[in-house]
Structure 1
Amino acid sequence: MQNSWSVIKRDLEENLLCDKLKGRVKYIIKSDNKKVVYIKVDGIERNIEALKDKKVIQQQDEQNTIKENGLDSIYMLKAIKEYKRSNFNNSLYSHNPLIRMLAIMDKRVTPKLTEKLTKELKNQPDWLKYFYKLRFDIENIPYEDEKEVELEEAKQEEATVTV
C-alpha cells in the first residue's frame, strides 16, 4: 500500500466511518518486532481473531500473525486496500471478515440497510458480532442476540418439563 499509515488511519476514521462512530473507533498501529494493528472502541482494544478463520488466510502460523488483540498489519492493510477497491455492497458480504468489519462501520450503510443486516448477525464469527451489534445499537435497531434466544428457549423448555 502506498499511503502512509497516518493517511490510511485518517481516511478510515474521518472519511469512511459513520458519523455516530467518529471519535469512538480508533485504528492503532504498534510496532514491536513487527507492526500490529489494533482497533479501539471507546478506549478499549477489541479482539480481532480474523486470522484464526481459515477461510480468510490459509496455512498461516497464528503465533506470528496475532499478538494479543492485535492483527499483523500486513493482513489488515491488504483488507483495507481490497475494501477501498471493492463495490461497497460486495464488501458487506465479502468472504473476508476484516472487510465485513470495515463495511459494517462505513458511513454508506444506511439505517435501512443496517436493519437488513441483522439477519446476517448469526453467520458472523464471534469477534465480528461485536462490530455488528455496535452498529445496530447506535442506529437503535433491535436484533436477536443468540445467547438471549438460547436462554429464553432453555427457560421455556424448563417450564414445560416442570408442568
Structure 2
Amino acid sequence: MEHYKSWGGLNRQLCEYLCDELKERVTYFLTRYHEVHNSYGRAAIRLDGKELVCFSWIEMYHQENDISILYEEEKESSYGEMTARMKPKWDKDCTYCEMDFLDAVLQFRNMSIKAALQSENYIIRILAVMDRRVGKRTLMRITDNKEYKKYPVWVQQFYELRL
C-alpha cells in the first residue's frame, strides 16, 4: 500500500474532489482502534450524516473465512486466484474492510477520472462518480446506457445520488 501522511490530508483531498452538489453533503470517515490487536478500524461514506456504506474490520474476517473454505476445496489454487474467485461475492455483499477503502482512496488519487470510472474496484468507481471532474456529457452517457443498474445496490445508490 502506498504511503500517506495523514487521514486528514486524504480526507481534505477527497472532499475537494466532490462535485458542487455533494460538497457539503457527503463526508468520509476513517478511524483506527490502536488499542485493539492489529489496530483494526472502520471507514464509511456518509450523506447528510447518515452512513450509506461502511467498511469494517469485521468484513476482513468474512473475507478470510471465504478464502479458508475455498482453500479446503482447492488446495492447489494460489491466494490471488482464490481472491479473484471471491471478488464477485464480495462485490455483491460489500464485503470490504477499512483497509480496502483506504487502498482504493490511495489508488484513486493517482488515476485519471476516465480510468477511475472504468475501474473494476467499485469503491474507486463510487469516488469517481461523485467527482467534480466528471463532466455533463459523461454523466449523460452514464444515464443513457444505465449500465450502473447492473451494479450491486450499495454502488447504485451513489450513481443515483449523482445523476
Superposition TM-score tier, normalisation by shorter sequence: 0.5 to 0.7
Q: Equivalent residue for 2:5?
A: 3
- Partner amino acid for 1:132? Y
State the distance in 2 between where 1:120 and 1:3 align.
Answer: 36
Q: Identity rate of aligned residues, in percent?
A: 31
Structure with the greater relative contact order (CA < 8 A, sep ≥ 6): 1 or 2? 2
Q: Equivalent residue for 1:129?
A: 156
How many residues are aligned here? Answer: 126
Q: Equivalent residue for 1:111?
A: 136
- Contact 2:25 2:47 (8 Å CA) reproduced: yes
State the distance in 2 between where 1:18 and 1:78 align.
Answer: 22
RMSD over aligned Cα atoms:
3.1
What's the secondary structure of 1:46's corresponding residue?
A: strand
1:108 to 1:96, Cα distance in 2 relative to 1, 3 A: same
Alignment of 1:5-154 (within 5 A): 5-13=7-15, 15-32=16-33, 33=36, 34-48=40-54, 58=83, 72-118=97-143, 119-136=146-163
Note the residue ranges of structure 2 that are not aligned, 5 or more in a row: 67-81
Give the TM-score of the pair, scaled to structure 2: 0.67
Note the residue ranges of structure 1 that are not aligned, 5 or more in a row: 137-163
- Contact 1:29 1:36 (8 Å CA) reproduced: yes
What's the secondary structure of 1:38's corresponding residue?
A: strand
- Contact 1:36 1:70 (8 Å CA) reproduced: no
State the distance in 1 between where 2:43 and 2:135 align.
Answer: 27
State the distance in 2 between where 1:87 and 1:9 align.
Answer: 18
Give the TM-score of the pair, scaled to structure 1: 0.67
State the distance in 2 between where 1:19 and 1:6 align.
Answer: 20
Q: Deviations over 1:111-156 (max 9, x none)?
A: 22111112222221110000000001xxxxxxxxxxxxxxxxxxxx
Q: Equivalent residue for 2:76?
A: none
Cα deviation, residue 92, structure 1: 0.3
State the distance in 1 between where 2:30 and 2:54 align.
Answer: 13
1:3 to 1:120, Cα distance in 2 relative to 1, 3 A: farther
